[in-house]
Amino acid sequence: MQTEAKPYLKSIHIEKPKGKEGKVFPFNIPAIQSIDYLDFHPDVTFFVGENGSGKSTILEAIAESFDLSAVGGAKNIKFSSRYDKSPLHQHIKCQKNYIRPQDKYFFRAESMHQMGNLLEKTWREPGSWLSKSDVFSRFKGESLHEMSHGESFLELFTTGFRGNGLYFLDEPEAALSATRLLSALVRIHDLVESQSQFVIATHSAILLAYPRSRIYLFNEDGHRQVNFEETEHFQITRDFLNNYPRRIQQLLRPTPLLDWLEESNTEDKKNED
C-alpha cells in the first residue's frame, strides 16, 4: 500500500515573543498577532489580503523553515541580501510530514531579476565547473536575461517545478498575462496531481478559483478562512466586469471609490432582500 506523501506541511505554530519584541514588526501585524496555529490544505493553501497584511512575511518565514532562502530560490540556489533573515522565522514551528518533498522552491516575483543576476554570475564565474545548462536547469538551460520577465515566470512553472514538491509562491501572477495565468493554473493542478503541495500569496482571482484549496484572509481584524466568493478579488472583479461602463464613470469622478462602494453596497442589500 502506497503511503500518501502530502501534506508535507501540515500546520504552523507561532510562538510570539514577550515584552518589547512582541510589539514591533512583524509581531505588531494583526494577522500574525492572531495566529497561534494555522492548518494547511494538502494541495493548495492561499494567503490573501492587502499590501502589508502579513501574507508575504509569513510565507517567507515558513520557506526558511524548509531551508530555503527568504529571498527566494531552491535549496541549492541561495544568495545574500539584507532581507535574508526573517525575524518571524525564529518563532515559527512547522508540523511536517515524515516524508520529505523531493523538490522545494520559494518563488518571489520581486526578486526574480536578482535571481537571474546571481545565476548569470555563477555561470560566468572564472574557473566555475558548472555549465550554462547546469546553472539554468530549472529554466530549460536558458539564461533568464534571454527571456522576457513573463517567459521566465512561466518557464519556472512548466519545467522548473519537478513534482513531488513543496512550492511557496509569492505573487506569481505579477508578470503573467491572462492567458499565461490560466496556463499557470493548469500547471499547478498537474503538479498537485504529481504529489505536490503549494502555499501561495496572491491577488489573483483566477488562481484563487482553484477548487482543491483553502483560503486565508489576512486583514486588520486578524485572519480567517474564507471561500472564494467571499474574497474581494472575486467580488470586485465580478462587479467590475458585469458593470464596467458604469464603474469606469464612477472611478473617474472626484470621489470614485466612495461612489462605487455606496452603489455596490446598495445592490448587495437588494440582492439579500
The domains found in the chain, sorted by start residue, are 9-229 (3.40.50.300), 243-273 (no CATH)
What is the pTM (predicted TM-score) of this model?
A: 0.85
pLDDT at 92 over 50: yes
The pLDDT of 104-129, averaged and rounded, is 68
Q: Which range has the top average pLDDT, 35-49, 94-108, 253-267?
A: 35-49
Across 82-92, average pLDDT? 75
Q: Band of the pLDDT at 271, cuts 50, 70, 90?
A: low
What pLDDT, in 10s, does the model give residues 132-182? 566 566 666 565 556 666 777 777 788 888 899 999 999 999 888 999 999
Cβ(226)–Cβ(215) below 8 Å? yes
Kindly report the three-state secondary structure assignment for every residue of the chain.
CCCCCCCCEEEEEECCCCHHHHHCCCCCCHHHHHCCEEECCCCEEEEEECCCCCHHHHHHHHHHHCCCCCCCECCCCCCCCCCCCCHHHHHEEEEECCCCCCEEEEEEHHHHHHHHHHHHHHHHCCCCCCCHHHHCHHHCCCCHHHCCHHHHHHHHHHHHCCCCEEEEEECHHHHCCHHHHHHHHHHHHHHHHCCCEEEEECCCHHHHCCCCEEEEEEECCEEEEECHHHCHHHHHHHHHHHCHHHHHHHHCCCCHHHHHHHHHHHHHHHHHC
Instruction: Give me the pLDDT at residue 2, please.
Output: 45
More confident residue, 52 or 79: 52
Say what the pLDDT of residue 32 is.
96
Looking at 21-30, 52-61, 82-91, 167-176, which range is the least confident one? 82-91
Q: Is the pLDDT of residue 70 over 60?
A: yes
Which of 131, 82, 146 has the alpha carbon at shortest distance from 111?
Answer: 82
